[in-house]
Amino acid sequence: MFKGSMVAIVTPFKNGRLDEDKLKELVHFHIKNKTTAIVPCGTTGESATLSLAEHERVIELVVQTANKKLPVIAGTGSNNTYEAIRLTKHAKEAGADAALLIVPYYNKPTQKGLYLHFKEIAENVDIPIILYNIAGRTAVNMLPETIAELAHEFKNIVGIKEASGSLEQMATIKMLCPKGFDLISGDDTLTLPLLAIGGAGVISVVANIVPQDVAKMVEAFERGNLAQAQQMHYKLLPLVKSMFLETNPICVKTAMEILGMCEPGLRLPLCPMSEDNLKKLNAALREYGLLKGKKK
């Protein structure tokens, strides 16, 4: 259901406030550039520093602007189960096509607690739900057995964004979950390997700046042109690595500023890049051909 090059879209700020016009402009950019779904209010969208009102407004704006031309997968996760339910209900009312729900962070729930958290949401909101497993952000890894139990029991739990970094875990999820359950990469460096084990696509950071190239890699694999997919993977790899020189989304928003795509605004506790890493980022953009005067 959800596949291809999906973008974890940034939330643009101007003078510390949500830049609504720029957000709409970025949505139109992705409509025109082969992105297959838009994911607002994820990690890359700085959801942790959005107020509840801002969070809801971002989702509303993205849904309205996408206007059914692209699916919208709204980030609605929380470490508070009932806040997650509220955000997910709002996303459904706003017209989102699905909700992306991160494993509760900071609380460090057990596997039973994770099961009960997602059970409560699935039973209270009738919307397709994509789980989001990223232990590096949450301190807890949701095990394949827990994921499979949820996927088999609740028909509206339709996929997972997997960012554990373990292909073995991803393969086990694919093996244990029902046919049609979408296994989605949450790590741009692992998109091609994940596709090779039956994955559906990626929720991408680097697609904020090169959406057509991420789409081209996925499309090449889907056509059976592994050589072209590998070529795109290795072309993208240095650029992808530059997106994570510092905590996401510091680097991608800085790159977008350099490329004239949005204002540089980041909210504390995120802060501007160090000079050394900024030089590395500029070099990666130049080498990729995104800065004028250099080959692509």
Sign of CA dihedral 54, 56, 61, 62: positive
Q: Does residue 26 sit in helix, strand or coil? A: helix
Alpha carbon of 244 to those of 78, 162, 211, 265: distances in Å?
A: 23, 17, 17, 17
Residue 22 appears among annotated catalytic residues: no
CB-CB contact of 252 with 208 (8 Å): yes
Spot the catalytic one: 3, 22, 92, 132. Answer: 132
d(CA 252, CA 204) in angstroms, rounded, equals 11
Spot the catalytic one: 3, 161, 174, 216. Answer: 161
SS3 content of the chain, % helix, strand, coil (to 5): 50, 15, 35
**DSSP for 216-234, written as a single string:** HHHHHHHTT-HHHHHHHHH
Residue 34 appears among annotated catalytic residues: no
Catalytic residue ranges: 132, 161
